[in-house]
A = this chain, B = another copy of it.
């Protein structure tokens, strides 16, 4: 018997309080340390807050990617999102996408975004292709709203682009046994044969631009650490097909409102996450009602003992996402810890930041409705 860990992270499950240091060891990824960040900064001249503050905390082969870049071998960026039923885009989903946007700007890179619209269909009994078709459109709006350059951004929808994706997926699939899938994803003989094949399709965008251009192009994949499993398998396959292993940078999960630990879950009641389509009132209500507080039970106690920003979800959201100014963040941290800043006041700061962000996002999301065609890859 193997020891049950207190947490579990696979593409199909993330539960328990996640120990990211342990994940680094278990997944065999490397820590994204200061030395490497400094190396990156030589090219970007600044570091996004996601990099400065450990939101992206691990990587595979980023040094190699920068070696290639410094030799003049430019990379492209690849990430994705599996459209589902009743799974709207929330703030947590945006972490890797915003990173992609920043990287596209800094490196003037081509960006490939995969919408594997068969994944949830295959994994969830009640999800239909009608559901995923609608969800694909909604998800596209959120990606476009982040400001990617249409001329350098290419959307792939698995069922629509299978004409160029299925053949390379077969090349990947030929080199992966069901034993490997069982061990990596926790599958068994009751899994359907589409779900068993699926990881091959997720591998394809990491080398499709190399196929299409006829030359080997390095790839960088920003993704949530839970998705690493797919590439742990397919990275071993790609060199056998004559392509580079993609480099990866991994982000932690944005904690759910209810508290640190676990992954911001989109598909539960809808109360544990802030969606990109939430109204200002919903944002205010959810943060005030649910955002786990590191403060004390009464104002008097709080003034006396101070709060704990390390477990306070509102503070974490500011740190991980909404307050890019390091000095301002430090002041909020210190004031909250000393008891000068009350939980309600801290929440008010966050609410305003999110409302402002979403007002802008929703405006761009509306404009995106007329831009979808420009982003879909024309095979």
Contact = CB atoms under 8 A, between A and B. Distances in A.
B197 A194 contact: yes
B200 A170 contact: no
Contacts of A161: 163
Contacts of A166: 118, 158-159, 162, 165-166
Interface in A74-125: 118, 121-122
Contacts of A196: 178, 193, 196-197
Interface in A154-188: 158-167, 169-171, 173-179, 181-182, 188
A199 B194 CA distance: 10
Nearest to A173: B194
Which size class do A's interface residues fall under?
Answer: 35 or more
A191 interface: yes
Given A163-B163, A171-B129, A177 B197 contact: no
The oligomer's copy count stands at 2
A190 interface: yes
Contacts of A73: none
A163 B161 CA distance: 6
Nearest to A125: B174
A194 B174 contact: yes
Of A129, A192, A200, most buried by chain B (CB within 10 Å of CB) is A192
A70 interface: no
A189 interface: yes
Of A167, A179, A190, most buried by chain B (CB within 10 Å of CB) is A167
A182 B188 CA distance: 12
A189 B177 contact: yes
29 contacts: A118-B166, A118-B167, A122-B174, A129-B167, A159-B166, A159-B167, A161-B163, A162-B162, A162-B163, A162-B166, A162-B167, A163-B163, A166-B166, A170-B194, A173-B194, A173-B197, A174-B195, A175-B192, A176-B192, A177-B190, A177-B191, A177-B192, A178-B189, A178-B191, A179-B189, A193-B197, A194-B197, A196-B197, A197-B197
Interface of A: 118, 121-122, 129, 158-167, 169-171, 173-179, 181-182, 188-197, 199-200, 379
Given A170-B194, A193-B199, 18 more contacts: A118-B170, A122-B174, A159-B167, A162-B165, A162-B167, A163-B379, A165-B166, A169-B194, A173-B192, A173-B197, A174-B192, A175-B192, A176-B192, A177-B192, A178-B190, A179-B189, A181-B193, A197-B197
